[in-house]
Amino acid sequence: MSEEQVEVAEAGSSNGAGGGTANTVTITDNRTGESVELPIEDGTLRATALRQLKDGPDDFGLMTYDPAYLNTASCRSAITYIDGSAGVLEHRGYSIEQLCEHSSYLEVAYLLVHGELPTNDQLATWTHEITMHTFVHENLKEFLEGFRYDAHPMGMLLATVSALSTFYPDSKNIDDPEERRMAAIRLIAKMPTLAAFAYRHSQGMPYVYPDNDLDYAGNFLGMMFKMTELKYEPDPRLAKALDTLFILHADHEQNCSTAAVRAVGSSQVDPYSAAAAGVAALYGPLHGGANEAVLRMLARIGSVDNVPSFLDGVKDGKEKLMGFGHRVYKNYDPRARIIKKHVDEVLEVTGGAGNPLLDVATELEKRALDDEYFTSRKLYPNVDFYSGLIYEALGIPRAMFTVIFAIPRTSGWIAQWLEMLDDPETKIARPRQIYTGHRQRDLQADLAVLGR
Ligand code: CMC
């Protein structure tokens, strides 16, 4: 049996136009008049089942064309559930609202990675192990020194995460459960350190080593902001707000960066290189880079008076309303709702209340939600619309916003990477294409025309 025949057979479809059960679809190929009845499983058709529709014996078989995966499930996953029209987000079955209210980021990270909530002992061990692995090799500091003073911290994070693979060469033994476990702990533990080091480099300030007395979010604030004080003491309200932001960003099923981690990981590369692919994807302004773009947009708009003309520009296609719209949510992003509640709280602590950009954001949201252009396209604020305002209030420069997104998303990337490795259906990600180029050109003849 050829590879193609095997795939079609595995797809479990049956030939012929039989009446069949209700949970099937019958497709007639009008080129040949042949019909096939294909099973519908979990609301999906196996794309490879279509391959038996051929317009001749040598035909490859029918493919699906789906750039950007608009209608293609690329995996089975039991990690994160999203109902985009109802605005629902759940991790391992727990709602994001409950997790933000009653849990901590490290507990959610455990839940994502292990599938169940930890017992008290498991949580204590997990927290201890992550705390004990926050340090990075001293050589990484020298590596950072190679970057220019104005290097974007996200570029530095990308480079240092991928460099981790050279410090832990055994991590390429991805079938070894202990290597997998250590990679999960190391990545979650070291990401805040790498992020803070990138920030300190860009500020020309000395690196601050992790403080194991502080919790995950507090330690990150310390590595960012500690100056001459002997002991950095984060404001617990700010550490709590940051921890909530970490929970909100921990996972979001098959988004661009997670899909990148899975695709790159499917080549069986080490987990640090796969995570670096996630960082690269997150960098883009349509994904994690949107929070930085939102703040730049709000600053450019400048005042509430300029909001109507800005929105006219969006409707004329001259601008994009950053922080609005989502591939999956066609309703208010539940994460944006939770973040919005924390904005005022944080501004109160930091004394940033009255920030004119908050007024611009509020006016933009109000007008957009009342405008047919946005409502007809189901464009609502997403997680990035308000998160930047909180980061700014925390004194975090805009270039760091996406870096901070990468810290918690790491737990989601790891959970998805582990799930992919254990999935018996995993194969190397290798899409097909529709070839649109030339064929069988005569090189010598064309070179002669070019005088060579
Ligand atoms: N401003 C103005 N119009 C928009 C926007 C926007 N932010 N987003 C979508 N549209 C319009 C788009 O022009 C299209 O209109 P038409 O039907 O007339 O051509 C329609 O809405 C459908 O949009 P789409 O581009 O087909 O939607 P998509 O699913 O491909 O893109 C998106 C999703 C998030 C990339 C897009 O909404 C966007 O670019 N938003 C701004 C960037 C942003 O905030 N990204 C953060 C996403 S949430 C955090 C994360 O997961 O990273």
List, for residues 338-351, the tens digit of each pLDDT value. 998 888 888 888 87
Token output for 196: 């803070």
Amino acid at 68: A
In a mutational test of the pocket of ligand 1, which residue from 80, 89, 251, 324 has the highest number of ligand atoms less than 8 Å from its CB? 324
The four Cα atoms 80, 262, 172, 176 give a dihedral, to 10 degrees, of 40
- Per the domain annotation, does 70 fall within a domain? no
Question: Are 118 and 19 in a shared domain?
Answer: no
Instruction: Count helices and strands (H / E) in the chain.
Output: 19, 6
275 pocket-lining for ligand 1 (C-beta < 6 Å) = no
Question: Are 52 and 159 in a shared domain?
Answer: no
Contact call for residues 382 and 323 (beta carbons, < 8 A):
yes
Question: Are 124 and 214 in a shared domain?
Answer: yes
**Cα-to-centroid distance, 261 and ligand 1 (Å):** 22
Contact call for residues 241 and 262 (beta carbons, < 8 A):
no
278 pocket-lining for ligand 1 (C-beta < 6 Å) = no
Burial (CB < 10 A; 0-12, 13-18, 19+), residue 371, is middle
Question: Are 26 and 148 in a shared domain?
Answer: no
**Cα-to-centroid distance, 389 and ligand 1 (Å):** 21
**Cα-to-centroid distance, 259 and ligand 1 (Å):** 18
pLDDT value of position 377: 95
Question: Are 107 and 57 in a shared domain?
Answer: no
Question: Are 45 and 89 in a shared domain?
Answer: no
Residue ranges of the chain whose pLDDT lies below 70:
1-21, 353
- Per the domain annotation, does 390 fall within a domain? yes
Q: For tokens 């987990």, what's the residue? A: 271
CATH number of the domain within which 386 lies: 1.10.580.10
- Per the domain annotation, does 381 fall within a domain? yes
Domain boundary among 38, 64, 90: 64
Question: Are 336 and 270 in a shared domain?
Answer: yes
- Total domains in the chain come to 2
pTM over 0.85: yes
387 pocket-lining for ligand 1 (C-beta < 6 Å) = no
In a mutational test of the pocket of ligand 1, which residue from 337, 377, 387 has the highest number of ligand atoms less than 8 Å from its CB? 377
**Cα-to-centroid distance, 183 and ligand 1 (Å):** 34
Whether 252 is a known active-site residue: answer no
Q: Of ligand 1's atoms, which has the minimum distance to the CA of residue 325?
A: 37
Catalytic residue among 270, 326, 333, 342: 326
Residue 426 pairs in a beta bridge with none
pLDDT value of position 16: 40
Minimum CA distance residue for ligand 1 atom 11: 377
**Cα-to-centroid distance, 322 and ligand 1 (Å):** 8
In a mutational test of the pocket of ligand 1, which residue from 261, 320, 365, 386 has the highest number of ligand atoms less than 8 Å from its CB? 320
- Per the domain annotation, does 75 fall within a domain? no
- Per the domain annotation, does 164 fall within a domain? yes
Catalytic residue among 384, 423, 442, 446: 384
**Cα-to-centroid distance, 50 and ligand 1 (Å):** 31
Question: Are 323 and 210 in a shared domain?
Answer: yes
pLDDT value of position 431: 96
Closest CA to 198 of 408, 413, 392, 403: 403
- Per the domain annotation, does 71 fall within a domain? no
Whether 287 is a known active-site residue: answer yes
Question: Are 88 and 7 in a shared domain?
Answer: no
Question: Are 9 and 141 in a shared domain?
Answer: no
377 pocket-lining for ligand 1 (C-beta < 6 Å) = yes
Question: Are 85 and 30 in a shared domain?
Answer: no
Which domain, by its residues, includes 127? 81-452
Q: Is the dihedral of CA 13, 19, 24, 27 positive or negative?
A: positive
Q: Of ligand 1's atoms, which has the minimum distance to the CA of residue 282?
A: 52
- Per the domain annotation, does 450 fall within a domain? yes
How open is the CA angle 43-46-48, to the nearest 5 degrees? 165
pLDDT value of position 13: 44
- Per the domain annotation, does 170 fall within a domain? yes
pLDDT value of position 157: 98
d(CA 78, CA 385) in angstroms, rounded, equals: 28
Burial (CB < 10 A; 0-12, 13-18, 19+), residue 153, is buried
Whether 201 is a known active-site residue: answer no
pLDDT value of position 21: 55
pLDDT value of position 355: 79
379 pocket-lining for ligand 1 (C-beta < 6 Å) = yes
Question: Are 375 and 408 in a shared domain?
Answer: yes
